[in-house]
Amino acid sequence: MVNQNLELGCGAGKRIAIKTAALGMLAALIWAAPALAQEINWDGGQDLARQFNAQKKARGDAGISNLQPVPVAPQTAPGSAGLMINATEIGVGKFHRYDNKVHHYPAHSAWVGHITPDGDLPNFPIVFDDPDGYVTIQFSNLEELLQALVALCQRRGAQVAVLNIHGHGMPGGMWYPKDKAQKKSAECRDWNRTSAAPDQVNYDQYYSPVTKEEIDSFAAISQSGGHDHYSCITGAPEWREVAGRIPNIKSYFADDAQIHFESCLVGLGPVGEEFTKTVGELLLSGSKANVQTSLNFGLGDWSMPEGMGFWGYLNDAQLEHDNQIYPVDRQDREIRQKGTIRLASHVNGAWETTLVGNQDFMLAGREPLQPEPSGAMTVAALSAPGAGLARNRNSMLANVAWNHGSFFNNSRSSLTTAVATNIPDAVRIPGTNVYAARFK
């Protein structure tokens, strides 16, 4: 067998020899899922660690000295630590790959683990360790993701502590196929075209401005009762179907596991509430476990290393200003606002949700959400899509009763809903130039 030397660019100049035969055996040794996976070691073609070290050296910091190749043999992680997983839809992963070349991501950025590795990647899922201790699963459909997660837990003898799911979203779902069969269908034709497009296509469309009409449309969808399916959107019904195919899936999540949907609008309105609770019911069993979704548009480019930020409609002047500078400057941080996170948890035998406002970021680790200060209405409430729409004579009713008493003072929120009208027949997926069609 031929040895390939892997230079990790560590401060000590270590080299690690990896036998090519071992690489060829990875799929057979580790994957219980039907899909063939690529497990990426930090080799010459995929070496983000070299980039991290170059940046750290330029700042006078020490290089990353503890990187190791992904082991082939099973290992047991400490139960108290658990697996920290970044799950990335492939199109968004390609956005980060290009964004990282335009503006190199700093070491320990929340988005480093979401960068699609370079090279020829014909098979999914792609699984690799990043330098910050996370495992990345880049996927092309929900079933593929969950199968890879289960196989990873089995292989490493550990449960999931944190699962960050990153992709394009809308109220009550995310834009990717539910399984391999749907991926091949005409319904997901545009998703396939976008995910296969050059990186710059995914990068350019991310910075598309959002119109007021589109914001109104998302507010309407959030009130639709979940009965309307949009093309290639994986929502609560699809999660129930796919998770139901995987035996004992709850056993792979720690009692205090956290699931973060790093995506636009997923938690907005009654539709978002139902989705957030459904994921908790399907995957989690511990009393300390929770699911987090955003009521706002999400921000996650090079300028937001801390985690996902938030944006939404405040008034016409603000919307016009943001839409003018955003496609030009391409810097999420310029337009970020406080945001609201929907937190689903298991309380007295049932899944309930709380709205936690005044948040700067949705973080990618195990940090607890900090409750907003009690008192007056915050910018977070007003910045949620749909908020303030009732104040505009041409807008539909907002998705909740936007007043101090009924909104933030309910620790376990029971949202006051409005009758949704003008449910759109098609809507542009945030962060893309693709329209999803409504299936009635």
Q: What pTM value is reported for the model?
A: 0.76
Q: In terms of domains, do 267 and 325 share one? A: yes
Question: Are 65 and 80 members of one domain?
Answer: no
What value, to the nearest 5°, has the Cα angle with vertex 204 and ends 203 and 210?
Answer: 110
> Is 216:399 a contact under the CB 8 Å cutoff?
no
Q: Which residues contact 156 (CB under 8 A, 6 or more apart)?
A: 74, 75, 76, 77, 83
- d(Cα 198, Cα 180) in Å, to the nearest integer? 22
DSSP bridge partners of 362: 308
Residue 101: pLDDT band with limits 50, 70, 90: very high
Q: What is the pLDDT of residues 58-99, one digit of tens each?
A: 333 332 222 232 332 223 333 347 999 999 999 999 999 999
Any bridge partners for residue 7, and if so which?
15
3-class DSSP string for 343-364:
EEEEECCEEEEEEEEEECCECC
Q: Which domain holds residue 344?
A: 76-439
Position 121, amino acid: L
The structural domain count of the chain equals 2
Reported confidence tier of residue 423, pLDDT bands at 50, 70, 90:
confident
Q: pLDDT at residue 251 above 70?
A: yes
- Looking at the fold, whether 11 and 88 belong to one and the same domain comes out as no
DSSP, res 438: E
How confident is the model over 247-256, as a mean pLDDT?
A: 95
Single residue among 17, 45, 73 that ends a domain in this structure: 73
Q: Is the pLDDT of residue 360 over 50?
A: yes
Considering the domain architecture, whether residues 12 and 47 belong to the same structural domain is answered as yes
Instruction: Clarify whether residues 376 and 338 are in a common domain.
Output: yes
Amino acid at 154: Q
Q: CA 268 from chain center: how many Å?
A: 15
* 364 and 397 part of one domain: yes
Taking 80 as the threshold, does the pLDDT of residue 238 lie above it?
A: yes
Q: Are residues 293 and 398 in the same domain?
A: yes
- Which range among 5-9, 234-238, 399-403 has the greatest average pLDDT? 234-238
Q: What local confidence, expressed as pLDDT, does residue 418 receive?
A: 34
Same domain, 27 and 116: no
Whether residues 24 and 93 fall in one domain: no
Phi-psi region of 225 (alpha: psi -120 to 50; beta: other; left: phi over 0): left
Q: Per-residue pLDDT for 312 more than 70? A: yes
Overall average pLDDT of the 141-146 stretch: 97
- CA–CA distance, 230 with 236 (Å, rounded to integer): 12
The answer to whether 64 touches 8, Cβ cutoff 8 Å, is: yes
Distance CA 124, CA 35 (A): 7
d(CA 150, CA 152): 5
Q: In terms of domains, do 201 and 279 share one?
A: yes
Both tokens of residue 92?
């968004």
Indicate if 57 and 161 belong to the same structural domain. Answer: no
pLDDT class of 369 with cuts at 50, 70, 90: confident
The domain boundary residue, chosen from 40, 57, 73: 73
Q: Please check whether residues 231 and 356 belong to one and the same domain.
A: yes
Question: In the structure encoding, which two tokens stand for residue 94, read together?
Answer: 């390609």
pLDDT digits (tens, 9 = 90+) for 263-288: 999 999 999 999 999 999 999 998 89
What would the DSSP string read from start to end of 64-94?
-----PPPSS-----TTT-EEEEEEEHHHHH
* Rounded Cα gap, residues 132 and 409, in angstroms: 38
Q: Which of 73, 105, 124 is the last residue of a domain?
A: 73
Among residues 31, 249, 67, the alpha carbon closest in space to that of 159 is found at 249
For residue 371, say if its preceding peptide bond is cis, omega within 30 degrees of 0: no
